[in-house]
């Protein structure tokens, strides 16, 4: 692929990027456009905390890549800078048990990790609440990707402990923001009755960005992340169109980064349409890659088996899984349900002649794409 000779070529120590971190998943933009009403709703709910009272609880819902995590990080940043309110964001994809959630809360309050063993949940919980009362501080905990707590059956116990903290230790003031990208999950309905009775959250919905909003957000990232002239209007329009098709802003941000790296591989000072098209073959699997990061060894093993037996009956897949791992049907069924909830597979019931109803398992992605990502390619 030849470049315009007048543009010259990148030398080994040059880059098309002004700031590559702009395209990382954890980047919090200075300008957070097109989420003004959602930000106002979050600030309204948390305003009592700034006055030393317990804030309103919140459910922030919406499809993946619609700005929920960024909104929480922005509000927490403002709250922490202007008040004495403690804020802790827990990534439930990583910390998916009650104990690990409270370990992250402990770390956020004491600024060091609790002992990895030898400390009971009861003691951990008491130390957190005693510290809050002693310092007369309000704590706001964001359970990001809370759907993972539901997948592991830990959501009700975790929320119960947070919401009832003031009963266990008089004077403890804790508010909760739950963030969910699983639109099939009814957070309230799926909680125990004991939690439903105390969890009356404000709901803040984050819709998919429209085409103009996507283009606007990506343009701002280009201006901050690339040197001037690297990404043309034509190339940016192509990225925005592919992003809109996916419905996930993270696809576009990842696509810009990969396209930039492709240009550098060619020693080009500009990103081409071909760089974008090549990068899209990987960027379109951003949601899949994100979901795979949270899987345990046995869950990964089953997914590998499904990828190699795509479309077969669940019983046949189980035989192959059991032969490989020695795990029983109960665990197998639990993993199937989780992979289905994560939208990695479809598990549908079909009628099989002579056998009654049976589940048929199929991947929502190309088997090769799943296997490549499991192998780290």
Among 3.40.710.10, 1.10.3720.10, 2.40.10.120, 1.10.8.60, what is the CATH number of 209-289?
1.10.8.60
In sequence order, what DSSP letters do the residues of 246-262 get, joined into one string?
A: HT-HHHHHHHHHHHHHH
- Confidence check: pLDDT of 226 > 80: yes
Ligand-binding annotation for 67, yes or no, is yes
Ligand-binding annotation for 66, yes or no, is yes
Q: What is the dihedral of CA 26, 29, 32, 33, to 10 degrees?
A: -110
Ligand-binding annotation for 69, yes or no, is yes
- Confidence check: pLDDT of 2 > 60: no
Q: Which pairing describes strands 138-144 and 173-180: parallel, antiparallel, or unpaired?
A: parallel
Domain ranges of the chain: 36-205, 209-289, 295-374
Instruction: Give the model confidence (pLDDT) of 44-90 as tens digits.
Output: 999 999 999 999 999 999 999 999 999 999 999 999 888 889 999 99
Ligand-binding annotation for 257, yes or no, is no
Helix (H, G, I), strand (E, B) or coil at 109: helix
* Buried b / exposed e along 238-270 (16+ C-beta atoms within 10 A): bbbebbbebebbbbbbbbbbbbbbbbbebebbb
Ligand-binding annotation for 233, yes or no, is no
Mean pLDDT, range 166-182, rounded to an integer: 93
What's the pTM?
Answer: 0.89
Among 3.40.50.300, 3.10.20.30, 3.90.1300.10, 3.55.50.30, what is the CATH number of 36-205?
3.40.50.300
Mean pLDDT, range 126-145, rounded to an integer: 96
pLDDT at 351: 63
CATH architecture of the domain formed by 295-374: Orthogonal Bundle (1.10)
């Amino acid at each position: 692929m030849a470049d315009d000779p007048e543009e010259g070529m990148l030398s080994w120590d040059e880059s098309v990027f002004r700031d590559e971190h702009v395209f990382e998943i954890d980047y919090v933009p200075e300008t957070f456009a097109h989420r003004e009403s959602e930000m106002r709703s979050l600030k309204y709910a948390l305003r009592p905390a700034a006055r030393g009272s317990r804030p309103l609880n919140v459910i922030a819902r919406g499809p993946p890549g619609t700005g929920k995590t960024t909104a929480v990080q922005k509000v927490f940043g403002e709250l922490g800078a202007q008040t004495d309110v403690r804020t802790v964001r827990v990534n439930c994809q990583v910390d998916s048990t009650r104990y690990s959630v409270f370990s992250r809360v402990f770390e956020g309050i004491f600024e060091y990790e609790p002992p990895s063993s030898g400390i009971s949940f009861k003691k951990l919980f008491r130390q957190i609440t005693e510290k809050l009362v002693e310092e007369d501080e309000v704590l706001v905990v964001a359970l990001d990707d809370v759907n993972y707590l539901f997948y592991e059956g830990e959501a009700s116990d975790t929320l119960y402990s947070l919401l009832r903290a003031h009963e266990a230790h008089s004077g403890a003031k804790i508010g909760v923001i739950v963030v969910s990208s699983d639109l099939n999950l009814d957070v309230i309905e799926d909680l125990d009755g004991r939690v439903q009775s105390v969890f009356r959250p404000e709901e803040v919905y984050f819709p998919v960005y429209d085409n103009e909003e996507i283009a606007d957000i990506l343009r701002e990232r280009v201006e901050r992340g690339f040197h001037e002239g690297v990404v043309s209007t034509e190339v940016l329009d192509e990225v925005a169109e592919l992003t809109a098709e996916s419905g996930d802003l993270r696809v576009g941000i990842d696509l810009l980064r990969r396209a930039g790296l492709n240009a550098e591989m060619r020693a080009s000072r500009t990103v081409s349409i071909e760089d974008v098209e090549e990068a899209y073959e990987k960027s379109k699997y951003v949601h899949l890659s994100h979901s795979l990061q949270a899987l345990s060894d046995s869950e990964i093993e089953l997914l590998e088996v499904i990828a190699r037996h795509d479309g077969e009956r669940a019983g046949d897949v189980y035989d192959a899984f059991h032969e490989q791992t020695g795990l029983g049907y109960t665990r197998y069924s639990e993993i199937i349900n989780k992979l289905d909830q994560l939208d990695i597979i479809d598990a549908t019931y079909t009628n099989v002649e002579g056998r009654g109803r049976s589940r048929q398992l199929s991947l929502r992605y190309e088997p090769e794409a799943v296997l490549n990502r499991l192998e780290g390619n």
